[in-house]
Amino acid sequence: MTGIWGIVNVTPDSFSDGGRYLDVDRAVAHGLALRADGAGVLDVGGESTRPGADRVGDRVEQQRVIPVIEQLVAAGIPVSIDTLSAATAAAAVRAGARIVNDVSGGLADPEMRAVVAESGADYAIGHWRGFSVDMYANAQYGRVARDVASELHERMSEAASAGIAPSRLIVDPGIGFAKAGEQNWDLLRGLDEIMALGPRVLIGTSRKRFLADVLRHDSATNAEVSEARRDLATAITSAFAARAGVWAVRVHNVAATRDALAVAHAWTA
């Protein structure tokens, strides 16, 4: 059965829950609530990857995430650290994180693969073509799913060369990262090509702009698409992803996606 990663963003400016969980206690309480809702892993991040977001620096990032990770680990919860920084990944693993979630797949920080190899943590590698400020400039593809699969394959080889066992890898096609609007749907339609790579597949559609775009086109006004509607869209894409056989989905609203996965599972069981 497809697992659920619950998102704990400890940032003032992330996609959708930015600012709400900056306070350590509130972030921990939010993580515990997501765990109670059915999250198997809590993915803790201290730097937004939102298009156009600024980098924060290791010191601030670690001040945000380490105390939160320590408390969630103390509560017995499997934790992943969402970071582009090798230093933050190392500190997070020392604090008890079991998985390093690197949306850049090792491209952003030259030290990352060595740190992960040494740490013994599992390594989630995303498809990525550059930092948030200019990521849409890189959104050029022949065929999106094929190109993403082949670049992820390169990242897998680089990880293996750095001494990370293939069994520790998780691959993520990086929905929204250097992909504009319709390219995300092309990628999801071609998910089989990502599945064929071999490792466990993680996918994150939660509340992303390409979902809001679909809902906005269906509406008379151009108003902001509510969180509740984006969560419903996320639950639906998560159910389709489960049907395609993905190992886990990364979401903000764990309860909604848990329900969608239960229904998808009842259909396919």
User: Which residues participate in catalysis according to the annotation?
Assistant: 208, 250
Give the containing element (helix H, strand E) for 80. strand 79-82
**Which residue in the shown chain puts its C-beta closest to ligand PMM?**
204
- Measure CA of the first residue to CA of the last residue in the chain; give whole Å: 10
Rounded CA separation 156/159 (Å): 5
Q: Report, in Å, the least distance between residue 220 CB and ligand PMM.
A: 27
Of 204 and 268, the one with the shorter C-beta distance to ligand PMM is 204
Kindly give the residue spans of alpha helices, DSSP state H, lying in the chain.
Answer: 24-37, 58-74, 86-94, 112-119, 144-161, 181-189, 191-195, 209-217, 227-243, 254-268
What is the maximum alpha-carbon separation in the chain? 54
Q: Report, in Å, the least distance between residue 227 CB and ligand PMM.
A: 11
Q: Give the residues across from 213 on adjacent strands.
A: none
Q: Report, in Å, the least distance between residue 82 CB and ligand PMM.
A: 5
Q: Report, in Å, the least distance between residue 130 CB and ligand PMM.
A: 15
Of 16 and 63, the one with the shorter C-beta distance to ligand PMM is 16
CB 66 within 8 A of CB 83: no
Token pair recorded at residue 157: 């080889």
Token pair recorded at residue 240: 């389709």
Of 155 and 250, the one with the shorter C-beta distance to ligand PMM is 250
Of 126 and 190, the one with the shorter C-beta distance to ligand PMM is 126
Residues that bind ligand PMM (CB under 6 A): 7, 9, 14-16, 48-50, 82, 101, 103, 124, 126, 172, 174-175, 202, 204, 250
